[in-house]
Structures are given as C-alpha cells and as structure tokens.
A and B are shown apart, each in its own frame.
Chain A
Amino acid sequence: MTQKAVVAEKKVGKTKKSGADFLIDGLKKQKVEVIFGYPGGAVLPIYDALYESGVFHVLARHEQGSIHAAEGYARITGKPGVVIATSGPGATNIVTGLADAMIDSLPLVVFTGQVATSVIGSDAFQEADILGITTPITKHNYQVRKPEDLPRIIKEAFYIASSGRPGPVLIDIPKDVAVLEGEAEADPEMDLPGYQPTLQPNYLQIRKLVEAVSGAKRPVILAGAGVLHAKASAELKQYAEQQGIPVVHTLLGLGGFPADHPLFVGMGGMHGIYAANMALSKCDLLINIGARFDDRLTGNLASFAPEAEVAHIDIDPAEIGKNVPTKIPVVGDAREALVQLIAQNGKNPDASEWIQQIKDWKEEFPYWYEENGNELKPQKLMEMLHEKTNGDAIVVTDVGQHQMWAAQYYTFNKPNAWVTSGGLGTMGFCVPAAIGAQLAQPDATVAAVVGDAGFQMTSQELGVIAEMNLPIKIIIVNNHSLGMVRQWQEIFYKGRYSHSLLPHQPSFVKLAEAYGIKAYKVTTIDEAEEKMAEAFKTDGPILLDMNVTPDENVYPMVAPGKGINEMVGVKK
C-alpha cells in the first residue's frame, strides 16, 4: 500500500464513543501493559470503562505511590508509565511524582479527573487547578474539552512523553468529557508543529569532537542518564574502548558503562570517588554525554573542570551551555552521536600517562570504611547485597545516606538496573518505584534499599506488594535517624541534631507481617549474611529491617560550595 493509501484508509471510519471509551482505546493502542491509579468521583466514568476492559490496573494505596510506581516502570522499560488519579486531592497527591519525573526525564502519561466543564472555576467539590499547578513540572499538559479530541491528545501525549528528552505529560479530563460521546477517527494525525526533537547530530560538530579527541592528552567522558534513555550503553562501551577514553558516571548514569571495566573511573560528584572528581578536575577534554551538569555533580562551578575544553552531547539543546560554557555542542540522541563517532574512528588521543594517573588515583583513594567486628556497617551491607545478588539485581533506592552507599558499593555492570530519585531527591520514592520496576521485569531480582525514615513515607504500598505477591526484597538500612540530615548537622551544624534522630520506630517486622509479608530483624553481620541469603532464595516478598551503625557518615564528600577537587574524607 502506498503512503497515501494508508492515510486515506485511516481517514475513514470515524467512531462514536464516550470520552472514557476513547481513553481505554488509546491505552490499548499504545500497548500499555499496566496502569497505576486510584479512583474517585471525577474519574468514576473512566473507572467504569476500565472495568472489564482487560487493561491491567494496579491500585496503589496512595496516589503518590501510583506515580512513583509508574516512574519505576518507566525507568526500567523506557516506556511511559501511566497513572490515573481523581480530581482535587488525587491530582495534588501526584505533584511530587511529576516534579520527580520532570527533573529526572522519565516518560509518564498521567490522567487526572476534573470537575465537569460547567463548574470549572467555581471552586467546585474536589476542584484543583491542576493545569496551573503542574505547568512548571510537566513537559506538556492538556485539558480535554471535547471527547473527540481524546484519541489525538493521547497519541500526542505518549509521543511527547517518550521522544526527545523524555518527561511527564498530564491530561486533565473533566467528568462530563469522559461521559459525553464524540465522533473521532481511530487513529488521528498528531498536531504538533512546534515539537520536533533533533535526533541526528550535526556532522560538523561530530567532526569537531573527533578533532578535539585526537588532540587531547587528558580526555574523559562524563556519562549521564541520557545514555540509558538512548539505550546507548553498548555504543558507549564501544566508543570508549575504540578511543581509549576513561568514563565517569553521574549518579543517575550508573550502569550505563560497566563498573568492572578498566576504563571506568567511578561516580563523580558530591559523594563520588576521588579519582572521578580528580579526572573531571584535571582533564583537558570533557565529553559530556547525556548529563546535565547538576550542581551535585559539578560542585562549585567556578572551579569545575578548569582546564577542560567541554563537549556536550545532549538531546535537549537547552542543557548545553546552561551551567558550563561549552565549546563543542552536539545536539542529538546519544546513541546516534556515538554511532557517528564510532564510524569516524578518529585518531586516538595520546593518553597513556593520563590513564595511568587515573589508575593510581583509583588505587590510592578507593571508597573506604572502618570495620568493627560483627557490627553491620551500611557499606558492608551494600557489598553483601552485591554478593548475594551476583550484582545482577535491579536496585531501587530511596533518598539519603543509604542511597549514596548503594551507588558507591553496589557496582553496577549493566544498564537499567538502578532506580533512584536523583534530581528531586524524593524520600518515599523507593517502595512504590520498586513495585513499578518489578512489574516491568517480573523475573528480575528487585532489591528495594530504603532508609528507616523514607520507608515510613510510603510504607502503605506494602499492601500492593503483599496483594500481588511481588517478590521484592525490601532492605531497610536502619540507622534510627534521618541519616543524611544528621550527617550534615554533625558536620555543618556542630552536632546539633535538630529533629533528625528517629529512635521511636514501629516494629517494621510486625508492620510487614501485618500485611502478610515475611520479615526479619537483623543486627549483626552474621545475621545479615544468613537472612540476606535466605531473602534472595525466597520466592515472594520479604522485608529485612537491618540495624546499621547509627552514626556512620557518607564519605568522601564535597562540602556544598566547594570545588569537587576539594574532597574531604578521601582516606581513613
């Protein structure tokens, strides 16, 4: 069939349906595997259409849980996570997740109910201006005015969410629009004249980069999550090997390049490894691939990569030059750019001394902690986790010290195995995100590594884990404190622990058991060995409440406002 014939065929056959039915159709057309949601008045028509629709819906126990689950799913699959929430409080409960997905570039399509068109603006029951509220934290948002617009809007939303720089798209549906019928084509054309993400990098810029590499003495690649979004891990490895360029990862990039590779330097940034921060500080050519030069990575910008010529490959042109002046901007998909760079097969840099230098830094200043008999150090816990899962688990974390220790000690060797809230640093992310990750890969081993404080922010989602018997291994890194806050108060506020100690806790074991989830309390290395081994042999979910050294700090560290070349705690 010719192109025209296809188009012509599409044009015929308008169907008449309710907004809610168009929505279900749209989800099916997009091959949505799972949606995470929570019903309420304004979405009753949609839930009625869902009933017996065959669309797989997971009932979270809080809307925040549903959106973080969708984020976990999106992070692992690269496909949009789908959420439904009701108007007003349902919609406002997903705000944190939207902000989180926006800053970490996760594709989401979120449907919110809205009060009926006739009463919008009248402070009706459960009315919230969710378009206004979510404008700065969505890649795009819509309010549907007519049911017949839904097929087009849904198609656009999925496309916008997952193309270019991914991000969340919200579709607000007034109740009457879900009920009313309209006539629309099954597969309408998208109407997005203002949206054309650039995928193919400019050849001349690629050439400039090839030239720069060939003349460099101290090149380094900084690889961010853009590499993962572009599914470019294999190309990154091939390129780094071809040119002999060491690779530093951002927190969110972990797994994009194998941690056990000789060219891997480590994670950079506030709690990165000394060698990585020194490599960034001393390099003469910095090739940023899909990272956004976040302040937790760069430290004080005035002293960031002072000797480097900066090249930046990014699908979002606005990221290039935003924080760091850039000599070689390459706008495009990371994979396309790497493929072109590999094809150029430029002259290798003369970097043997540099690579030796980095090796020396790595050897001399590895991550370190002090052991103390049978006491369970959190770092030891992470090493044990790696060992018990053969480094093969999907690790999902919350936010705080345990997150940094997981990033430092788990050593990620494969892509899409690391789910963490980076840009927003959202406590409460872990447990629901683990649900999404497990549903994305039902056969994977999923370890949910969570702090004792963050766990209490979304622990209600244990209900979902129990109900669905998801084999998630929840590991509470229990330091009886808001550890990261406590650490900062110790270091920067003279040990005045203002509201950061959490001695009063429920029994997490009993809590899990109340949900019907097997659980153990662990207090020593020996117990940890035993219970962790058991956990990863258990079929269903399990929770380990693991007491770790309460006053352990994350090191090394770049103090806020300092350059990343000024790390403290690099050695025992």
Chain B
Amino acid sequence: MKGILSLLVNNRPGVLNRITNLFSKRNYNIESITVGHSEQEGISRITVVVQVDDENVIEQMTKQLNKQIDVLKVTDITSQSIVARELALLKVVATSQTRSEIYALIEPFRGSVIDVSKESLTIQITGETDKIEAFIELLKPYGIKELARTGTTAFPRGTQRSTNNKSLSIV
C-alpha cells in the first residue's frame, strides 16, 4: 500500500540527510519526497510518499522519524482527507499532424503548454498522482522525450470528513 507522511522539520543543515538516511537505514522505500518552506520561518514541510506492506510499517516510520531531534511533527495522513498535488513537466513529440490532438488532451486535464518548438511541446500539469499518471499514459503514444515529476506535496484539508473516502480533486 501507499502511505503519505507529512513532516515539519527544523530547516537546519543535515536534516534532510538524517531523514532520507533513516529511510535507507530502516530499509523503507520512498516513492517520492518533497521539501520546501512551511508557513513558519525556519521550518520546512516534507511530504514523503512511501510504498509499504502494511500500516505497521507506517507506524514504525512515524515513530522513528519522531525520534529525530530536528523533526518537530510527523503526521501520517494516509487515511486522512487531504489535499495532495504533484506537478509534472512533459516534453512530448509533436508534429504538425499530432499537435492539435495533443492540445485536445491537455484541455480536459487543465494542463498548460509552457514551451513550444518545431518538434515538441512542453506541458505542465498539476494534480493528484492518479491524474498525472493517466495523463502520461495518454501522451505516451506520441512519444515522451522528457518527463520530470515533483512528487506529491500534501496536507490535511481544513475540514476532515467523517468518511474515509478520498475526496477527488477538482484540479
């Protein structure tokens, strides 16, 4: 299963190293990790998406991360109602024949074209991982020359719903 952990950490030298190191030391698989400033100065938010066998492993991860001195808070948001986003950049082969077809695909995904050349289009798309993956699948037949994904960044919604249904994003 997939798990998502949201961390608040002191923005100090070596913190990221301590955290990624902990994952390799404990033999955990990171699918993606994003780091950036949080709303508080000197404190960064890290979002880690992990692939695990069961919930116990996520619990262990949470506890191990919590032991790090510079980790201020760890929240397992796997089963919470969250807002999660990822950004992807795709450079797709685009000939005069395929160009308009590709544009037609971008539309419903609310992607945007951010660079155009003779042979290719560079598209930016944001959303939840599923959506990004669906979009990549659709574009594969045209030939993806380059792909860059940021990995998921996330936090809990303002209001938690009582159901565990993952709310779908509206882009």
Contact = CB atoms under 8 A, between A and B. Distances in A.
B64 interface: yes
Interface string B40-76: 0000000000000000100110011011111111000
Contacts of B64: 318
Interface string B84-121: 00000000000000000000000000000000000000
Contacts of A192: 69
Contacts of B22: 136
B41 to A, nearest CB: 13
A535 interface: no
A317 interface: yes
Given A135-B18, A316-B67, A321 B56 contact: yes
A318 B18 CA distance: 17
Given A136-B21, A136-B25, A143 B69 contact: no
* B69, B70, B73: most-surrounded residue (chain A CB, <10 A): B69
Nearest to A164: B67
A160 B69 contact: yes
Contacts of B56: 321
Contacts of B21: 135-136
A193 interface: yes
B71 A194 contact: yes
30 contacts: A131-B17, A132-B17, A135-B14, A135-B17, A135-B18, A136-B21, A136-B25, A140-B68, A140-B69, A141-B14, A143-B14, A160-B69, A192-B69, A193-B10, A193-B72, A194-B10, A194-B68, A194-B69, A194-B71, A194-B72, A194-B73, A317-B63, A317-B66, A318-B60, A318-B63, A318-B64, A318-B66, A321-B56, A321-B59, A322-B60
B141 interface: no
A51 interface: no
Contacts of A322: 60
B158 interface: no
Contact of A195 (B18, B69, B73): B69
Interface in A115-158: 131-132, 135-136, 139-141, 143, 145
A195 B72 CA distance: 8
Nearest to B60: A322
Interface in A307-350: 316-318, 321-322
A135 B22 CA distance: 9
A135 B25 CA distance: 10
A288 to B, nearest CB: 16
Contacts of A321: 56, 59-60
B70 A194 contact: yes
Nearest to B59: A321
A508 B141 CA distance: 75
A249 to B, nearest CB: 26
A553 B68 CA distance: 42
A120 to B, nearest CB: 11
Interface string A180-204: 0000000000001111000000000
Contacts, number: 42
Nearest to A142: B14
Contacts of B70: 194
Most buried by B among A141, A143, A194: A194
A306 to B, nearest CB: 19
Contacts of A316: 67
A145 B13 CA distance: 10
B59 A131 contact: no
A202 B64 CA distance: 20
A317 B67 CA distance: 9
Nearest to B67: A318
Nearest to A319: B63
A316 B60 CA distance: 12
A132 B14 CA distance: 8
A423 B68 CA distance: 21
Contacts of A140: 68-69
A523 to B, nearest CB: 47
Contacts of A145: 13
A195 B71 CA distance: 8
A132 B25 CA distance: 13
Contacts of B68: 140, 194
Most chain B CB within a 10 A radius of its CB, from A135, A143, A316? A135
Interface centre among A131, A139, A160, A318 (most CB of B within 10 A): A318
Nearest to A169: B69
Nearest to A322: B60
Interface in A382-424: none
A570 B3 CA distance: 46
A160 to B, nearest CB: 6
Nearest to A191: B10
A167 to B, nearest CB: 10
A322 B60 CA distance: 7
Contacts of A141: 14
Nearest to A331: B63
Interface in A455-498: none
A192 B10 CA distance: 10
Contacts of B10: 193-194
Interface in A185-234: 192-195
Contacts of B17: 131-132, 135
B130 to A, nearest CB: 32
A145 B22 CA distance: 24
Q: Shortest 5 CB-CB distances between A and B: which pairs?
A: A318-B63, A194-B72, A140-B69, A136-B25, A135-B21
A313 B73 CA distance: 23
B69 to A, nearest CB: 4
A194 B42 CA distance: 13
A194 B19 CA distance: 14
A42 to B, nearest CB: 19
B72 A143 contact: no
B138 to A, nearest CB: 42
A109 to B, nearest CB: 14
A164 to B, nearest CB: 9
Contacts of B18: 135
A192 B70 CA distance: 8
A429 to B, nearest CB: 22
B13 A143 contact: yes
Nearest to B56: A321
B21 to A, nearest CB: 5
A317 B59 CA distance: 10
Contacts of A131: 14, 17
